[in-house]
């Protein structure tokens, strides 16, 4: 059966703009594309310890049977949420099936009709989708511009409305970070509720990979943190950190939590074991940090710094305008053995197309040197 004509036209337009998304299998190229920043997704010890935990707890490996409010709330959930809350110095943690589910669940349920949501203009699609489902009014502020944010707060500040300020600690398409000390000063000044997505900070920032907020000692100034596990932790799921009252509210009103099958014991055990390893894997955490420093040094040495977005995270992006050009350069790097992905418009604005380099603890300095040397050859 053919697609409706309007859907066919949308696909055709994507293809004409050289922006058609397609699925591809994993490959054996040198990894500069995955979000497995510290290698936990391929860690055999974590895999085996996850299985042993399930044996010890007498859990059926694939025992997901329904919503956590019905039959899906097994004992490993309780242990994992307690461990996560303690690890992040939070009062409570609530696990969701994914970062997308966590953001949609939070923003569709927590801000009310009389409230106002102020979000960074570059916030992730999952945040925007949740905001669209909310009854609250929403307005974006200029990226990392807290003067602009403060003007909006002053405009909408009232005793009748709660103001929710939303940002990310590491932006997925730029790799940059906001000045969180300055941001918390603004939100505290106006008693606004600060919500921070830490998807790309977990496993990257902090002594134990706890994220940027906690590494700066700001956790008590943030109303809610969203920690996603499909990046640095190398497994499925996410958690919202906050007060016990917030956890209770989400259990009662977050539809993406209530009306879905809970994660299997195996998935939750993977989360718990992953967190336990964050406390022990100092070598890989430090190796990732050294690779980030080395990458920045090399791009400066090769004269590539002006084309890169400023970043001290594991995400490094070289702006190469034009879908066709950035895809061509990515293809050349892949032909040389390096898995570097192009990010095309409309995922990013037209003219902001880019190569996105994801750094890992398991990348060698030789690999970093070589991929950047090839980039300099292909762009100059």
Instruction: Give the model confidence (pLDDT) of 38-94 as tens digits.
Output: 999 999 999 999 989 988 877 754 556 789 998 889 889 999 999 999 999 999 999
Span 348-364, mean pLDDT?
Answer: 97
User: Beta-carbon neighbour count of residue 192 at 10 Å?
Assistant: 23
Give the C-alpha separation, 351 to 343, whole Å. 11
Q: Where are the domains of the chain?
A: 27-39+282-379, 57-278
Closest listed residue to residue 95, CA positions, set 109, 108, 107, 79: 79
Coil, strand or helix at 5: helix
> Is residue 199 classed exposed, middle or buried when 0-12, 13-18 and 19+ CB atoms within 10 A define those classes?
buried
- State the Cα–Cα distance between residues 135 and 82, nearest whole angstrom: 32
pLDDT at 57: 78
Query: Which architecture, in CATH terms, is 57-278?
Result: 3-Layer(aba) Sandwich (3.40)
Contact call for residues 299 and 372 (beta carbons, < 8 A): yes
**Is the Cβ–Cβ distance between 286 and 320 less than 8 Å?**
no
CB of 110 closer than 8 Å to CB of 94? no
Average pLDDT score over the chain: 95
- What are the structure tokens assigned to 209, written together? 């990979």
The pair of structure tokens assigned to 228 is 């996603």
Report the interhelical angle of 323-335 vs 365-379 (nearest 10°).
140
- At 26 the pLDDT is 77
CB 130, CB 100: distance < 8 Å:
no
Task: Tell whether pTM > 0.85.
Answer: yes
Confidence of residue 23 (pLDDT cuts 50, 70, 90): confident
CATH class name, domain 27-39+282-379: alpha beta
pLDDT of residue 131: 98
Burial of residue 305 (number of CB atoms within 10 Å: 0-12, 13-18, 19+): middle
Query: Average of pLDDT values for 168-183?
Result: 97
pLDDT attached to residue 18: 85
- Among 52-56, 242-246, 368-372, the range scoring the smallest mean pLDDT is 52-56
DSSP 308: B
Rounded CA separation 178/53 (Å):
38
Checking DSSP bridges between strand 193-197 and strand 163-168, what pairing results, if any?
parallel
| Torsion sign across C-alpha atoms 256, 42, 47, 214 | negative
Q: Which residues pair with 356 in a beta bridge?
A: 317, 341
Under a CB-based contact definition with an 8 Å cutoff, are residues 110 and 135 in contact? no
Sign (positive or negative) of CA dihedral 228, 222, 241, 247: negative
In this model, does residue 305 exceed pLDDT 70? yes
- Mean of pLDDT values over 340-353: 94
**Residue length, the chain?**
380
pLDDT tier, 160 (very low <50, low <70, confident <90, very high otherwise): confident
């Amino acid at each position: 059966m053919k697609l409706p004509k309007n859907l066919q036209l949308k696909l055709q337009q994507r293809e004409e703009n050289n922006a058609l998304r397609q699925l591809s299998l994993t490959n054996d190229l040198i990894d500069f594309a995955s979000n497995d920043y510290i290698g936990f997704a391929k860690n055999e010890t974590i895999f085996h310890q996850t299985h042993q935990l399930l044996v010890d707890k007498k859990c059926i490996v694939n025992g997901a049977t329904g919503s956590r409010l019905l039959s899906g709330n097994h004992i490993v959930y309780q242990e994992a949420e307690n461990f996560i809350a303690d690890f992040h110095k939070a009062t409570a943690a609530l696990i969701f099936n994914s970062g997308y589910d966590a953001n949609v669940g939070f923003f569709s349920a927590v801000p009310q009709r009389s409230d106002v949501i102020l979000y960074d203009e570059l916030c992730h699609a999952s945040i925007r989708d949740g905001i669209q489902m909310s009854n609250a009014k929403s307005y974006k502020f200029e990226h990392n511009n807290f003067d602009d944010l403060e003007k909006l707060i002053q405009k909408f500040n009232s005793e009748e409305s709660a103001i929710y300020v939303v940002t990310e600690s590491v932006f997925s398409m730029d790799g940059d970070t906001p000045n969180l000390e300055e941001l918390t000063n603004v939100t505290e000044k106006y008693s606004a509720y600060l919500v921070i997505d830490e998807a790309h900070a977990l496993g990257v920032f902090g002594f134990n990979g706890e994220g940027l907020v906690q590494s700066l000692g700001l956790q008590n100034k943030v109303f809610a943190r969203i920690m996603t596990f499909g990046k640095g932790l190398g497994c499925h799921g996410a958690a919202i950190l906050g007060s016990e009252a917030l956890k209770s509210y989400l259990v009662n009103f977050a539809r993406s939590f209530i009306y879905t099958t809970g994660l299997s014991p195996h998935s939750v055990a993977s989360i718990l074991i992953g967190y336990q390893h964050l406390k022990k894997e100092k070598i890989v955490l430090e190796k990732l940090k050294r690779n980030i420093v080395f990458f920045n040094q090399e791009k400066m040495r090769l004269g590539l710094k002006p084309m890169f977005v400023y970043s001290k995270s594991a995400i490094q992006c070289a702006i190469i305008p034009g879908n066709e050009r950035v895809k061509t350069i990515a293809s050349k790097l892949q032909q040389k053995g390096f898995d570097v992905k192009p990010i095309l418009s409309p995922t990013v604005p037209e003219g902001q197309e880019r190569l996105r380099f994801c750094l890992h603890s398991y990348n060698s300095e030789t690999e970093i040197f070589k991929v950047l040397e090839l980039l300099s050859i292909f762009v100059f």
